[in-house]
Every structure is written in structure tokens, then in C-alpha cells.
Structure 1
Amino acid sequence: MLIDNHGRQLSYLRFAVTDRCNLRCFYCMPEEGLNWLSRAELMTYEEMMRACSVLVNMGIDKIRITGGEPFVRKDIMHLLSGLAALDGLKDLSMTTNGVLTAPYVAEMKMLGIRNVNLSLDTLDPNRFFSITLRDEFKNVMNTLEELLRNDMNVKINAVVMEGKNTQDIIPMVELTKHLPVSVRFIEEMPFNGDGHVYTGLNWNHVRILDEIKQAYPDVRKEIDAVGSTSYNYTIPGHKGSIGIIAAYSRTFCGSCNRIRITPQGTLRNCLYDDGVMNIRDLMRSGVGDDELKNSLLKAFSQRAKDGWEAERLRSENKSAHESMATIGG
């Protein structure tokens, strides 16, 4: 069991396998994209497997593969197959934008992957294009259908953005009436990748819930699982559920059980810190597993109390405006 310096158990790793993405969502990166990492800068699949094996041995029992978009990395199924075989790993999950995912769903199921988060900010094709700058709505919806056909546990992640998709909140909620999905509304965060300073939030978790209550006054609060990032709700008669993630307000930090590794191997104890060590560089320097474990334990013993402290402790002149694609969604 891994315990940090605030008494929180660490059991969940979010591993970004690439910074590249085939969408250009404005809240994540500039229209022209980013300065993508070179192949040499990325962790190899062998390095990823070793890092995950060490962490699972230390007590991590859930790994979520993220990006960028995981399926733009060549041979991603090879990595997933290796991870699925790790002894002690209880949950291997995916986060994807759905553009390339549908052909792989059956194989994912065979590997034991059951939990998939699908990024989808609107149900309107025109608004989808205005947000993502790509005409891929049909492919994403095909992926949703394929996931449900294969009995996957699907969470739809929708970032709520003023002036962009707030009119989609209720239609997204209505998806849960007939589909066994969890629609999760996420507060917009400052990780836009273009350097402009994020000054605040108008659509926070309180306002999102108020919007839902106006249409569904009988919405019911459920008990949130330990370590949950979302406030969870159900509506009587609906097959699915609703979650609201206070990603900017950072109200869930007290029970945070997750760590992150970026595509270039940077360990982040918090979404809002700027990295505490580089696992790739340690491995390439020739350290053994015991030394790697000791370095990880030291890093876990110095975690910030919450996201606000983590942001304050970032390197001087390094504000939190990098892209989510470089951090890991």
C-alpha cells in the first residue's frame, strides 16, 4: 500500500502515452497544434511497461491510459496487451476522443478493459466542429455505439465552456434516460497550451448543478466512492447517471489517490504541479528497480496538500497554461 505525506493512499496511475491528438479542441491547445515531442523524447513501450510494473508492485492497482489521443500512437494495442497481463493490476482503463477507437473496442474487451472515458463536449455536429476544428463527430458517435454494444462501462466527459456548449448540458443529461452511460460535466481548466492566463470560472460545479436542477428538480445525490473526482447524481427513471467534476475548484483533493506520468516520463503528483521527477531519465541512466522505487517513494512523500498548493509551488514564471495533451487528460 502506498501512502503519501498527507495519509492518502495512492492506487491510481494516469499514464499519457503521447502528446499528439487528432482534434484541436480550443480549451486544450492552439489551432495550429503544439511542438510535438520527438520519438526520442517519448518513453518507449518497454520503458512504460517497466515503470508500470514497478508501480503496480508498489501498490498501484488501477492504470488509465490517456494522451493526447492514445490511438494515434502506433501499436498501442501491443502496450495494452502487456499492461493487461500485469499481476496485481485490477483495472486497466482508457480515455479517448473516439475518432479512431471503434475498430479496437472488441479487442479491448478481450483484454479485460471494461471502463472507457469518451471525450464528447456536445451532441451537435456543428458545435462539435467549432470546438474541435475537425469533422469527426460521426466517428465519435460510432465509437460510443460500439462501446455500448460491447457492454463497456462508458463515461462521457464534457468540458463546460461559457459561450460554447452550455446549451448542451440538458441534452447531454437526456442521454442518460435511455443509455447506461455516466455523463460527467467538467469545469474548464487553464491548460489551454497557448500561454494566456486563465482568470476565472463562471460555470463552476455549483452553477452546472443548478442548470440541471432547473430541468430535473428530482435529481438525486448519490454516495461518492472513495477517491472520486466527481459529485455523482441520478435521475429517477434514467438508465444512466450524472457526474460533475470540480476540476478548477479542486474540491476533491483531500481524497486524491492518483498520480500522473507524462509522455516524456515526468511524474506529476498533481495535475497542477509542474513535475517532480523524470522516470524516463532515471531508467535511461541505468538505475535498477530498487533505486527507482526509492526515488518514487521520496516523490510521494512530498505531495502538495491540494491543487492550489501545487500550483503555488510551480517553478517561478511557469504558470499553469500548458496543454492537457502534454500532461495527460
Structure 2
Amino acid sequence: MLDSYAREVDYLRVSVTDRCNLRCKYCMPAEGIESLGHTQILALEEIVRLVRVAARVGIRKVRLTGGEPLVRRNITDLVAQIAAIPQITEIALTTNGVLFADLAAELKAAGLTRVNFSLDSLEPDCFHYITSRGNLIDVTGAIAKALALGLAPVKINTVVMKGINDHEILAFVRLAKEMPLHVRFIEFMPVGDLPFYQTDRMVSVSEIKAIIAQQYDLYSGPAVQGNGPAKCYQINGGLGSIGFISAMSDHFCSECNRLRLTADGKLRGCLFGKQEINLKMALQNGASDEKLAHLFSKAIREKPRCHHMSEGWGADNKRKMYQIGG
């Protein structure tokens, strides 16, 4: 379905939980959160019903996010039920990787087609500083498992933060050169009002490219499957590729094709926006599939032209990243 700006919206990101087994500084407070109660989040059958309705208005790709989606019980059953919806052509997962290796084969058998790993450091000490818990070796093992299972393309999402992990940019490029991975460098974004966000932590895509150019020649390459906003580059002689997501310095709103469904059932047209449609309440009030389809269509029609982060809207958006699904 086309929105008001002639963008085809065919992609739904579904946050299945606000819980996480890590405490990444830009996403969740170190002391943790008061998680949503069982009755506050969408039940498994509610998620499946909403995806089925979304498919009626043109959604074809679904990505499961969190929090950390793999801490949600029965996540494999959810993947299988969504994969069984005829119109859905792709079901992907964004995970921190800590729990992935043990579930990987089961998830693929259920219908998972692709996986993205959120990984901001290849150094154990820096990894622990950013995440506050977890083991890097579990994540690197999970990436190897995904490659072995053929869940291609396997992507790594890396948020670059000045003075934290920007010294590892070339190490991530080297990883993409030596392995068939698509590494995507993401500009640090002020989502929510966490004290960790400071404007001087942001490293722009142009700065990242300048660092890479010191050692590597990149050339424009074909888009990677399901690549969304990333601008893709090949590495000369490399097995993998590099992508850049410039959400702050050069936004990609004109090409945005997605809606976001939060764990508590709010439908959003923009990661950075404040407008939401409460689908959980609609379900509780006995909404028919036709009514739900109307609400999805409304969200698509009212999807904003672009975000306004440069105008200081980030601080007004009180939802943290773990509450939206990234």
C-alpha cells in the first residue's frame, strides 16, 4: 500500500518483548527496567492475528525485534505461525546473539529467512563496557552458526560511538572482508532520554568513510537483500560488504517502507515519531479484522514525510530503543 508520499509500505517490525538480557548503554538503563506485565504485552495469538491483517493491506516482510526477541517464550512457534501466512515472503530477526546459537536450527526450520546481529565491539572489554553483561564469544559463535545454516545475508549492525568503539571501525571492515558478512555502520541516534546520549558521541557516516579510506578501497555495490536504508559498498577482494545508515546526517526517510509495532501493541509510522495507534486497545475492545485493517491503513496514510531529529525531537520521544524495537 502506498502512503501519502508514494512510498510503498510493505515491511512491519514487530517488537515481541521489552525485556533484554543485555544492558547496552544507549538502549536500556544499567539498573534495568520495570518490564511490562504479561497482560500488557501482545499475546502470541494477537501478534499473529495482527500480522495476518497487516498482510491484507500489503505487508510482505516481517522482522521480529525486542528488547531481545529470543527471551520471549515460544518465539519459534511465533516464527512458524507468521511464516505460514501466505502473503508473508520474508521473516527476519534482529538479535544480540547471546541466545541465538542454541535456537538457530529450530528457528530456521520454523521459517526464519534472515538474521541481523547487533554487535558494537569485537573486543571483550569494550563489548562488556557497552553491554554490561553477556559474553562476546557467544555472539561470535552465533554469527558462525547463522553462516553455517545459510541464513544469508547475515548482517551485523554496529552503532559507532566516538571515544567508545570508533577505534574498531577498521576491525569491522576487516571482518567483512574476510567473511561473507554485511556489516552496517549506524550513526548514534538520540532515541529516548537516556543520560548516555551526548551529541559529541555521534560519528557521522562521512567520518566513518574517511577512516575506512585510510586502508580500504570501497566501491558501490548492489543492494543487499532486505537492506532497507543502508547504502552498500563492496570491499576490493572481500567476501562480504559494508553498509552505512546515516539516520542523523543524511536521513533516508524518502525511502522508508516500514511500520513498527511495539511490544504493548502500539503501531508507529516512524521510529522517531510520537504518533501511535493503540492496536492492543482495539483488540481488547473486540475490533474486527476489518477494523484492524482500517487502522493499519490509517497508519500508512498518516506516516510522516520525515523525522525531525535535527530540530531536537529526540528528547521529546520518551520511548527508549528497547520499547520500540529499533
Pairwise same-fold verdict (TM > 0.5): yes
Matches of 2:220 and 2:100 in 1, distance apart? Answer: 32
Matches of 2:247 and 2:190 in 1, distance apart? Answer: 10
Mapping of residues 1-329 of structure 1, within 5 Å? 2-153=1-152, 154-191=154-191, 194=194, 198-199=198-199, 202-216=202-216, 218-224=217-223, 228-308=228-308, 319-329=316-326
Measured at CA, do residues 227 and 74 of structure 1 come closer, stay the same or move farther in structure 2, by a change above 3 Å? closer
Aligned with 2:109: secondary structure? helix
Matches of 1:86 and 1:310 in 2, distance apart? Answer: 39
Measured at CA, do residues 304 and 75 of structure 1 come closer, stay the same or move farther in structure 2, by a change above 3 Å? same
* Alpha carbons 2:182, 2:243 under 8 Å: kept: yes
* Alpha carbons 1:227, 1:255 under 8 Å: kept: no
Measured at CA, do residues 279 and 155 of structure 1 come closer, stay the same or move farther in structure 2, by a change above 3 Å? same
Tell me how far 1:74 sits from its aligned partner: 1.1
Matches of 2:250 and 2:75 in 1, distance apart? Answer: 32
Give the letter for the 1:71 counterpart. Answer: L
- After superposition, the C-alpha distances for 1:242-290 in whole angstroms (9 at most, x for unaligned) are 0011122352110110110000011110000123211111011011011
* Alpha carbons 1:66, 1:95 under 8 Å: kept: yes
Unaligned runs of 5+ in 1: none
Matches of 2:322 and 2:313 in 1, distance apart? Answer: 22
Matches of 1:86 and 1:15 in 2, distance apart? Answer: 15
Identity of aligned residues (%): 38
Aligned with 1:307: secondary structure? coil
TM-score (norm 2): 0.94
Give the letter for the 1:159 counterpart. Answer: V
* Alpha carbons 1:29, 1:193 under 8 Å: kept: no
Matches of 1:273 and 1:99 in 2, distance apart? Answer: 30
Aligned residues: 324
Deviates more, 1:4-13 or 1:300-309: 300-309
Matches of 1:169 and 1:19 in 2, distance apart? Answer: 29
Unaligned runs of 5+ in 2: none
CA RMSD of aligned residues (A): 2.1
Give the letter for the 1:35 counterpart. Answer: E
